[in-house]
Amino acid sequence: MSFLAPLFLLGTLAVAAPVVFHLLRRSTREQTVFSSLMFLRPTPPRFTRRRRFEHVALLILRCLVLILVAAGFARPFFPQAPSSAPAAASASRLAVLLDASASMRRGPLWTSACAQAMATLRGASPGDQAAVFVFDRQVRPLLSFAEWESLPAGDRLGAARARLEAASPGWSDTRLGDALAAVAEAVADSPDTNAFRQRRIILLTDRQQGSRLEALAAFDWPSGIELTLPPLPIPSTANASLEWVADARADSTDPAAPSPVRLRIRNEPGSGREAFQVGWQGDNPGAWLGEPVEVRVPAGQSRTVFLGPPPPPGAHRVALRGDEEPFDNTLFVLSPEPVERRVLYLGREAASDSRRPRYFLERALQETARHKAILRALGPEADAAAVSGEADAAALIVVADPLPAERARALRQRISGGQTVVVLLQETAAGATLAALLGRERIDLEEVPCAPFVLWSEIDFEHPLFAPFADPRFSDFTRIHFWKYRRLDERAVPGARVIARYDGGDPAWIEAAVGQGRLLVLTSGWHPSDSQLALSSKFVPMLYSLLDLAAGGGNEPLQFQVGDALPMPQSARPGSETWSVRTPSGRVQPWPAGAAQWAETGEPGIYEIASGPIRRRLAVNLAPAESRTTAIPAGEIERLGPPAPAAAKAAGSVVRQVAAEAAEVEGRQKVWRWLLAAALATVVFESWWAGRAVRRSLVEGS
Amino acid sequence: MSHPGSAPTRAAGAGFIEPRVLMRIRNLELRARVAVEGFWSGLHRSPYHGFSVEFTEYRPYAAGDDPRYLDWRVLGRSDRYFIKKFEDETNLRCHLLVDLSRSMSFGTAGYTKLEYAATLAATLAFLLQPQGDAVGLVTFDEQVRDVVPARHRPGHLRRLLIALEQAAGGRATNLAAPLRRIVELVRKRGLIVLISDLLAPREPLERSLTPLAASGHEVIVFQVLDPAEQNLGLSQPAMFRDLESGQVQFIDPAAARAEYQRRLEAHGSAIRALCQRLGIGLHRLGTERPLETALFDFLRERQQRGKLPRHAAGRARHPGPAIASTV
């Protein structure tokens, strides 16, 4: 039998107390009255002669209680034979986890981390298993356990060094909690749980405050895995950072209004600097465009500043000067700019005819902060070259009257090439033109007079055309009356998507894909003889939705962080278009087929997504949390779960392993419970026995 | 007049009644009568035959004496002028002082010291009353409990006996306050018999007895002690509780006996020296001793006092002969 806490056995020395008490010839319970004690002095307790114990049975019981309690506290257990082979149990399983986030670009952090990693790997014995991981937002293995095992022992260090030299810190933010959890699982995930005497993670990180440790709080740290944090030369330099807050111009509809950019400048605690400069810069870093703004931010605080007016077009780089860490001093800002959108109107009516659609279209397409719409109207008499030239430049083509067959065929080719065309069915004769555009032989339309009116229903607010009205505050179309429309049998247009219907069930808006482009059909007109649509408040937003749909863009986010996935533009038609992404470094990468997102934003800068004439630019910046470079104490990481790093591993590890195994065996056997139960039973029996002895003595005394 | 339920037997050696037997008589009066009768019957062998407690005194007439007190019979018979003293003046006024402190309730012989002391007091009263002496009683513990003035009238003995049958009380033996009170109460000089265990420090005892002796009274002290108190005759070690103070101590009698006896003897010696200096007769009485011996001690003491002229007796208190303890 062995004991987990043998020092408690010293408690058995307490049996001396009952032995002494039983040797004392002192009957404290018996009292004798005496007239006066003035001539008496207390007699010191006197030992009886040897072997003259009083109440030997009680003495034995009391000693037994003390011995049982002391033995119980000493946590006895019956040792078991070791289950694993001793040779295998001497091996370790090590994982080196390097922080490759943007903050590791500071000073000598990365080279020190690599040196520490190599030193750790050199200390591994041939029987050990080791792996090297890097992490920022995600964990990537540089050298997995399997590769380590597969390599000859002499090549392992060389392979690890080569992988480390090839790696470098990226621009992503740090998610240390996720990384630790993933690597801990990888370290714990071995076929034989008893094969390693030690499992350890060597974490090489700058422990910056923005490391996102919260994932550790919910993670059940596997037992037996220790975490070591070798010290790195963390620079204590002044660092300030830039963060884009919001673009004040986004809400402005006045293109002439000043359009400042709102920025937050944060100065890290402990920073020795307070004065900074913020301003626009061009592609040549270091040269200000215009005058920079002087900002004073005390250490540990942040300030919001407005930067503006905007520099010359094309400038999208905001820089900060005045701190000592340049890695987070550049911010890429893209503001929505008024984009010229050309609209080609194919109709024969005069511009001043207030009863016709053109009149309302011209007046609705005014210049805004984001759009600069230019309407060009051509009648049937216009020659094909002019139409073709205008159509090339147009983002949207509106067909208001029936077209000649040849012109309709040409337009169909344009749609197939990716253009967006809207057809207004103002008369039943437009059926031939529609059939030509859709590649059908014939489509019949039927004039439907409505008495007194019909309304739109079943509007698909998920379609980009109606998406701006999806909010319940704007989704009320019941005040727009339609006096007449042309019935189009949707079965005549296979694959078409009905975006809105009249309350009688006939289609009002239909979208049909033609080649790479799309054809939108409104089975009525927006002019007053057909409906109240042009006079309603919904008309102008709907037109701009059409423009956004045709040209791409809209109210989609422009600012992203490194590591974020870039979304496909809303106007794109997945599967029908070929998209590519131009990264800030100039590389052009194809958009994966069928993917809704592109997730390879590995560097900050301006990314351009392009498909045909559609260009969309997105700004990708460093995550603001990555700029919070103040180091958190190592104890903060330990508090969230990983056991404290052990200082002296080599000497004490075997002892600890044995102790841990002993504790596990003792925890299973729980012999102490039986001992304490026996002690309690003995106490009860002793009480009964003592009570009986007292009663007997009283009877004898009386 | 023996108790029908108890057959008082004579002590083999002296022919006295064993106190153990005497104390079986529950009635105090009966007990006292039995003791006195035993004493009278044993008196025939007494060397003090014919002695009276007090006798009438004659003295020669002196100029200025009241002629009413002339003994005319003596004048007629012998033609000499003698003055006969009044009976009031000549009869003994005896006050019995009985200690009722808690220590007196101790006893190992089957009865307590208090029972023994009360029997002794009652016996003395029965002894003195038939001679026409006035007997009074004062009981006390740390203060005076009961006072029965010295009288000689019918029924007075019963009052005394009732007062004597009180149980022990109080906490400590404090003679100072009761004796001071007695000095105040008893103006006329007389006999004072103090019955106590005297288990009190020597200094308070001295402060108590000195004024009593100085007031001109004739004082006899009976120190009543249980046999267990004299030799610590308890066998088992135990927690000893003081009857008066309640103090508890662990005492092993075998270990403490020698020291106890030495200190008790020292205390007794100190009291004897004190009494000798004050002219007080001291008799230590073990409760195992027959009461008659106490009566003999009493009468012998009286006889020795009676041999001395009154004025000489007062002078002889200090340089007088040593009064040996009968114990």
> B66-123 pLDDT, tens per residue?
888 888 888 898 888 888 765 444 467 888 999 888 888 888 888 889 889 999 999 8
Q: Order of strands, edge to edge, in the sheet holding A302-307? A: A240-247, A261-267, A302-307
The model's pTM is 0.45
Closest to A567 in 3D by CA, of A559, A387, A329: A559
Strands A31-34 and B238-242: parallel
Nearest Cα of chain B lies from the Cα of A35 at a distance, in angstroms, of 4
pLDDT the model gives residue A357: 92
Mapped onto helix, strand or coil, the DSSP state of residue A5 is coil
Tell me if A67 sits within 8 A of A15, measured CB to CB: yes
Sheet strands (E) in chain B: 58-60, 82-84, 93-99, 134-140, 144-151, 191-196, 218-225, 238-242, 248-251, 281-286
pLDDT at A93 over 50: yes
Tell me if A297 sits within 8 A of A289, measured CB to CB: no
User: Is the predicted ipTM greater than 0.90, yes or no?
Assistant: no
pLDDT level of residue B52 (50, 70, 90 thresholds): very low
Higher-pLDDT residue of A314, A383:
A383
For residues B32 and B168, membership in a common domain is answered with yes
Q: Order of strands, edge to edge, in the sheet holding A317-321? A: A288-296, A275-281, A317-321, A330-332
Nearest Cα of chain A lies from the Cα of B242 at a distance, in angstroms, of 5
What's the CATH superfamily of A91-234+633-646?
von Willebrand factor, type A domain (3.40.50.410)
| Cα diameter, chain A | 149
For residues B103 and B76, membership in a common domain is answered with no
- Contact state of A41 with B256 under an 8 Å Cβ cutoff: yes
The Cα B31–Cα B17 span in angstroms is 11
Classify residue A220 by burial, with Cβ atoms within 10 Å: 0-12, 13-18, 19+: exposed
- Contact state of A28 with B250 under an 8 Å Cβ cutoff: yes
- Contact state of B197 with A34 under an 8 Å Cβ cutoff: no
pLDDT at B154 over 50: yes
Show the 3-state SS of A293-328: EEEECCCCCEEEEEECCCCCCCCCEEEEECCCCHHH
pLDDT at B39 over 90: no
What value does the mean pLDDT take over residues A519-523? 92
Lowest mean per-residue pLDDT among A121-130, A571-580, B183-192, B308-317: B308-317
For residues B173 and B305, membership in a common domain is answered with yes
What is the percentage of chain A residues whose pLDDT exceeds 90?
23
Sheet strands (E) in A169-260: 196-204, 225-228, 240-247
Chain A: residue nearest B250 by CA?
A: A42
Q: Give, as one character, the DSSP assignment of residue A341.
A: E
Residue B185 domain-assigned (yes or no): yes
Sheet strands (E) in A15-113: 31-34, 76-77, 91-99
Higher-pLDDT residue of A84, A446:
A446
CB burial readout A403-427, b (16+ within 10 A) else e: beeebbebbbebbeebbbbbbbbbe
- The sign of the torsion formed by the CA atoms of A682, A683, A687, A688 equals negative
B38's torsion region: left (phi>0), alpha (psi -120 to 50) or beta? alpha
* Chain position carrying tokens 């040269």: A287
For residues B236 and B134, membership in a common domain is answered with yes
For residues B82 and B130, membership in a common domain is answered with no
Which residues of chain A from 469 to 498 reach within 8 Å of chain B, CB to CB? none
Provide the mean pLDDT of chain B: 75
Number of domains within chain B: 2
pLDDT at B311 over 60: no
Tell me the chain A residues in contact with residue B239 when contact means C-beta distances shorter than 8 Å: 27-32
Provide the mean pLDDT of chain A: 83
Last residue in a domain, options B86, B105, B140: B86
Residue B231 domain-assigned (yes or no): yes
Residue B172 domain-assigned (yes or no): yes
| CATH architecture of the domain covering A241-332 | Sandwich (2.60)
A207's torsion region: left (phi>0), alpha (psi -120 to 50) or beta? left
pLDDT level of residue A25 (50, 70, 90 thresholds): low
- Contact state of A32 with B260 under an 8 Å Cβ cutoff: no
Higher-pLDDT residue of A692, B3:
A692
Provide the 10 A C-beta neighbour count for residue A485. 26
pLDDT level of residue B169 (50, 70, 90 thresholds): low
- Contact state of B236 with A37 under an 8 Å Cβ cutoff: no
For residues B63 and B171, membership in a common domain is answered with no
- Contact state of A34 with B241 under an 8 Å Cβ cutoff: yes
Radius of gyration of chain A from its Cα atoms, rounded to whole angstroms:
42
| CATH architecture of the domain covering A339-551 | 3-Layer(aba) Sandwich (3.40)
- Contact state of A37 with B239 under an 8 Å Cβ cutoff: no
The Cα A408–Cα A388 span in angstroms is 12
What would the pLDDT profile of A490-517 be if each residue is shown by its tens digit?
888 888 899 999 988 999 999 998 888 8
pLDDT the model gives residue B172: 67
- Contact state of B238 with A32 under an 8 Å Cβ cutoff: yes
Query: By the CB < 8 Å criterion, does A30 face chain B?
Result: yes
pLDDT level of residue A3 (50, 70, 90 thresholds): confident
For residues B135 and B70, membership in a common domain is answered with no
The Cα A614–Cα A153 span in angstroms is 55
CATH code 2.60.40 region(s) in chain A? 241-332, 559-624
Phi, psi of A213 (to 5 degrees): -90, -5
Mutate which: B197, B252, B263, B267, vs A, most A CBs within 10 A: B252
pLDDT at A51 over 70: no
pLDDT the model gives residue A113: 92
For residues B105 and B67, membership in a common domain is answered with no
CATH code 3.40.50.410 region(s) in chain A? 91-234+633-646
Radius of gyration of chain B from its Cα atoms, rounded to whole angstroms:
21
The Cα B130–Cα B144 span in angstroms is 27
- Residue among B104, B199, B239 whose CB faces A32 most closely: B239
- Provide CB contacts within 8 A for A196, sequence distance 6+: A88, A89, A91, A92, A93, A129, A190
pLDDT at A17 over 60: yes
- The sign of the torsion formed by the CA atoms of A687, A689, A694, A695 equals positive
What would the pLDDT profile of A678-697 be if each residue is shown by its tens digit?
999 999 999 999 898 888 87
Mapped onto helix, strand or coil, the DSSP state of residue A386 is helix
Chain A: residue nearest B198 by CA?
A: A36
Phi, psi of B134 (to 5 degrees): -90, 130
Q: Domain A559-624 class?
A: mainly beta
Give me the domain span that covers residue B80.
Answer: 58-86
List, in sequence order, every residue forming a beta bridge with A589; answer none if it has no partner: A581
Give the side-chain half-sphere CA count within 13 A for A145.
18
Q: For residue A679, what is the enclosing H or E element? A: helix A671-701
pLDDT the model gives residue A65: 92
Query: By the CB < 8 Å criterion, does A41 face chain B?
Result: yes
- Contact state of A31 with B248 under an 8 Å Cβ cutoff: yes
Mapped onto helix, strand or coil, the DSSP state of residue A375 is strand
- Contact state of A43 with B259 under an 8 Å Cβ cutoff: no
For residues B82 and B102, membership in a common domain is answered with no
Chain B: residue nearest A45 by CA?
A: B250
Higher-pLDDT residue of A26, B158:
B158
- Residue among A26, A30, A40 whose CB faces B256 most closely: A40
Tell me the chain A residues in contact with residue B238 when contact means C-beta distances shorter than 8 Å: 27, 30-32
- Contact state of A34 with B243 under an 8 Å Cβ cutoff: yes
Chain A: residue nearest B263 by CA?
A: A39
Q: Indicate which CATH number applies to the domain containing B122.
A: 3.40.50.410
The Cα A95–Cα A515 span in angstroms is 53
Interchain CB contacts (distance < 8 Å): A and B? 90
Structure tokens belonging to residue A184: 């801990």
Look at chain B and count its residues: 327
Nearest Cα of chain A lies from the Cα of B106 at a distance, in angstroms, of 6
The Cα A104–Cα B219 span in angstroms is 115
Give the side-chain half-sphere CA count within 13 A for A206.
30
Which residues of chain A from 339 to 378 reach within 8 Å of chain B, CB to CB? none
Query: By the CB < 8 Å criterion, does A381 face chain B?
Result: no
pLDDT the model gives residue A480: 92
Query: Which range has highest mean pLDDT (A89-103, A350-364, A365-379, B163-177)?
Result: A350-364
Residue B153 is which amino acid?
R
Q: Order of strands, edge to edge, in the sheet holding A371-378? A: A371-378, A339-346, A396-399, A420-424, A517-522, A507-514, A497-502, A456-457
pLDDT the model gives residue A82: 52
pLDDT level of residue A88 (50, 70, 90 thresholds): very low
For residues B110 and B79, membership in a common domain is answered with no
What is the percentage of chain A residues whose pLDDT exceeds 70?
87
For residues B189 and B299, membership in a common domain is answered with yes
For residues B159 and B122, membership in a common domain is answered with yes
Mapped onto helix, strand or coil, the DSSP state of residue A110 is helix
Tell me the chain A residues in contact with residue B265 when contact means C-beta distances shorter than 8 Å: none
What would the pLDDT profile of B224-255 be if each residue is shown by its tens digit?
999 888 888 777 777 888 888 888 888 888 88
pLDDT the model gives residue A384: 82
Chain A: residue nearest B234 by CA?
A: A32
Tell me if A401 sits within 8 A of A431, measured CB to CB: no
* Chain position carrying tokens 């009663």: A695
pLDDT the model gives residue A650: 42
CA dihedral A410, A411, A417, A419 (to 10 degrees): 160
Closest to A5 in 3D by CA, of A667, A674, A681, A678: A667
Mutate which: B100, B230, B251, vs A, most A CBs within 10 A: B251
Chain B: residue nearest A32 by CA?
A: B240
- Contact state of B240 with A40 under an 8 Å Cβ cutoff: yes
CB burial readout A194-204, b (16+ within 10 A) else e: eebbbbbbbbb
pLDDT at B11 over 50: no
The chain B residues in contact with chain A (CB within 8 A) are 103-104, 106, 113, 197, 199, 201, 226, 229, 232, 234, 236-245, 247-252, 255-256, 259-260, 263-264, 267
Provide the 10 A C-beta neighbour count for residue B216. 10
* Chain position carrying tokens 């419970």: A673
- Contact state of A33 with B106 under an 8 Å Cβ cutoff: yes
Tell me the chain B residues in contact with residue A24 when contact means C-beta distances shorter than 8 Å: none
- Taking CA atoms, B286 is separated from A227, B107, B143, B325, in Å, by 92, 11, 25, 12
What would the pLDDT profile of B248-287 be if each residue is shown by its tens digit?
888 888 888 888 989 999 999 999 999 988 888 888 888 8
Classify residue A277 by burial, with Cβ atoms within 10 Å: 0-12, 13-18, 19+: middle
Tell me if A62 sits within 8 A of A686, measured CB to CB: yes
Tell me if B95 sits within 8 A of B191, measured CB to CB: yes
Tell me the chain A residues in contact with residue B104 when contact means C-beta distances shorter than 8 Å: 35
